[in-house]
Structure 1
Amino acid sequence: MSLDISIYLADDRALQVALDGSLDTHTYGQLDEALNPLLAGTVRSMVLDLANLNYISSAGIRSIFKARKTMAARGGKVLVVNPQAQIQKVFDVVKAVPMNEIFASVAEADAYLDVMQRKVLKGDDD
């Protein structure tokens, strides 16, 4: 199976990534290669749309975990949206992505990011 990656850079701080296919031992390098230069920049939020991802292996989980770790180091977030049931099950089992960072839609994730941005701008730590 192959992996297609669509990346949309909303601005220099917000990134949307859609994955289509299989994120596994054979394809995780594609994701790492596509994200590394973007994550080295000023991106503070990444929405990872998994609606068309039909398989993920431990290598794929590590790739997502690595992106989360890079973003967290500078106060950023990686949010997962639209995971299919089998992908959600993998996330539930390995706990690679906290449940409060998995959303049913991009709109739901955008609303969460908006609230978080407002808190940061107000200096609210709640």
Structure 2
Amino acid sequence: MTFNLHIHALDPHKSTLQLEGRLDAMTFGEFDREAEKVLQQMATGSTLVLDLSSLEYISSAGLRSIAKARKHMRARDGHTLLLNPQLQVRKVFDIVKAVPIKEIFQNMQELDDYLDQIQRRMLGEGEEVE
């Protein structure tokens, strides 16, 4: 299977990229090129969501690409959150500890609850989220 990247909800404050297929040594360049276009449009303090529900395989090259996107977002005081990873992909992240567990969400509701808590904290209305 090949790799496809779908850009959903492109917004300077919160954009979602859906990864499909295999992110490996043969396809990471495509991800890097397309993600860079989105990353350049992201505002300071924004959130990049990587929807991994259709990602079937990730190699070390794919991990590096995701780390590169995370580094770019951190440099802009932003966040990169992973959504819906398939079991085998989540296991890779768990093994290499490439992404903090608090940045991986099983579904959209879990992600929305997290984002709601952050916003409430910023307004002084809720408990602190780590």
When normalised by structure 2's length, the TM-score is 0.87
How many aligned positions are there?
A: 126
Percent identity between the two aligned chains: 46
CA distance in 2, matches of 1:40, 1:118: 28
Secondary structure, aligned partner of 1:83: coil
* Contact 1:47–1:109 (8 Å) recurs in 2: no
Alignment correspondent of 2:4: 4
Residues 92-124 of structure 1 show CA distances to partners (whole Å, capped at 9, x for unaligned) of 0111110001110022112212221332344x9
Distance change in 2, residues 1:86/1:32 (3 Å): same
Alignment of 1:5-20 (within 5 A): 5-20=5-20
Secondary structure, aligned partner of 1:21: strand
CA distance in 1, matches of 2:66, 2:122: 25
What is the alpha-carbon root mean square deviation over aligned residues?
A: 2.0
When normalised by structure 1's length, the TM-score is 0.90
* Contact 2:28–2:61 (8 Å) recurs in 1: yes
Q: How many Å apart are 1:2 and its aligned residue? A: 0.7
Which structure 2 segments of 5+ residues have no match? none
Which structure 1 segments of 5+ residues have no match? none
CA distance in 1, matches of 2:15, 2:94: 24
Which segments of structure 1 move beyond 6 Å, counting only runs of 4 or more?
Answer: none
Opposite residue 89 of structure 2, the aligned amino acid is I
* Equivalent of residue 48 in structure 2, options 39, 46, 49: 46
